[in-house]
């Protein structure tokens, strides 16, 4: 009798242990809502400025994401899943974006995302394209779009600092300037690449409720900042947060950015 009671107790303890460990991980993954959206700028063999991620470190980050079961999804897929719950996201989603249209996106980033088959969204300011020496060309952008992995969206027309412009212009002129930056960028990207532009990355991450209103009036349905946290469906769609990734985000630092986004919905 004593012996069988002990056996039952042992079984119960084993069962409780199983219940407390394995399923809790599964539940956490299912319930977590925050999705890390990463933003890169430039790539290269060495760090020439704060915005450069060396190509080797970028590749290590991609390899780490794959090895840890993260699924890189497009920004469109993320927004669609929020708009329509019928679009279920894969587990452990992560989004990759790159701002500014630097030429190293073509020379350094493209070969790697092709190898890993990871989608990315580029936020470009068209005044620089096929114009500034550091920038991509329209041909390079078109080639990237043809891979099916690259989407191109707006970073305004010439990347102004809206704080400076508001200080320098009359209210009416400021509004006209912002609306022109927002609409001209959409038009030019659409003309060159045949893309429907509805996403915006705020230059320098600068945004406020007035700017968000104007972005909506200009036809943007989502806009992105540089606020360092995971994005969720409960966020303001015109101020969605992203993690700015630098070359220092290696190993444990990178893991913390990604894994820190995994939390239970409260």
Residues contributing to the site for Zn ion (CB under 5 A): 99-100
> How near is the Cβ of 60 to Zn ion at its closest, in Å?
24
Integer Cα distance of 263 and 266 in angstroms: 9
Residue 197 CA to residue 176 CA, distance in Å, equals 20
The token duo for 142 is 């078109």
35 versus 201: smaller Cβ distance to Zn ion: 201
- Pick from 262, 223, 261, 245: which is nearest to 79 by CA? 223
Nearer to Zn ion, 110 or 244 (CB): 244
Smallest distance, Å, CB 86 to Zn ion?
Answer: 34
Residue closer to Zn ion (CB basis): 100 or 212: 100
Provide the 10 A C-beta neighbour count for residue 190.
14
Q: How far is the CB of 159 from Zn ion (least distance, A)?
A: 6
User: CB of residue 125 vs Zn ion: minimum separation in angstroms?
Assistant: 7
Q: Residue 42, class by beta-carbon neighbours within 10 Å (0-12 exposed, 13-18 middle, 19+ buried)?
A: buried
Q: Is the Cβ of residue 65 or residue 218 nearer to Zn ion in the bound state? A: 218
SS3 state at 50: coil
Please identify, using beta-carbon distances, which residue of 51 and 65 lies nearer to Zn ion: 51
Measured from the CB of residue 188, what is the shortest distance to Zn ion in angstroms? Answer: 17
Minimum distance of Zn ion from residue 203's CB (angstroms):
5
Exposure class string for 161-179: b at 16+ Cβ within 10 A, else e: ebeeebeeeeeeebbebbe
- Least distance between Zn ion and beta carbon 172 (Å): 26
Residue nearest to Zn ion (CB): 99
User: b/e for 98-122, b at 16 or more Cβ within 10 A?
Assistant: bbbbbbbbbebbbebbeebebbbbb
What are the counts of helices (DSSP H) followed by strands (DSSP E) for the chain? 10, 10
Instruction: Decide whether 160 or 260 has the Cβ nearer to Zn ion.
Output: 160
Rank residues 60 and 127 by Cβ distance to Zn ion and give the closer one: 127
């Amino acid at each position: 009798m004593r012996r069988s009671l002990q056996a039952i107790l042992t079984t119960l303890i084993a069962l409780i242990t199983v219940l407390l460990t394995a399923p809790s991980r599964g539940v956490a993954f299912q319930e977590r809502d925050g999705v890390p959206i990463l933003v890169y700028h430039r790539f290269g063999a060495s760090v020439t400025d704060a915005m450069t991620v060396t190509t080797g470190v970028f590749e290590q980050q991609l390899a780490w994401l794959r090895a840890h079961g993260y699924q890189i999804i497009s920004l469109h897929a993320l927004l669609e899943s929020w708009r329509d719950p019928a679009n279920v996201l894969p587990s452990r989603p992560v989004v990759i974006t790159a701002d500014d249209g630097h030429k190293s996106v073509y020379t350094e980033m493209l070969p790697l995302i092709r190898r890993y088959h990871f989608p990315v969204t580029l936020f470009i300011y068209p005044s620089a394209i096929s114009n500034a020496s550091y920038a991509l060309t329209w041909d390079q952008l078109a080639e990237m779009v043809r891979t099916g992995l690259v989407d191109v969206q707006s970073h305004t027309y010439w990347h102004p600092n809206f704080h400076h412009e508001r200080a320098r212009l009359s209210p009416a002129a400021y509004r006209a300037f912002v609306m022109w930056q927002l609409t001209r960028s959409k038009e030019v990207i659409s003309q060159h690449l045949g893309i429907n532009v509805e996403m915006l990355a705020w230059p320098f991450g600068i945004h406020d409720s007035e700017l968000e209103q104007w972005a909506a009036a200009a036809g943007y349905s989502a806009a992105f900042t540089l606020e360092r946290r995971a994005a969720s469906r409960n966020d303001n769609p015109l101020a969605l947060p992203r993690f700015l990734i630098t070359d220092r985000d290696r190993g444990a630092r990178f893991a913390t950015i990604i894994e820190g986004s995994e939390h239970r919905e409260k």
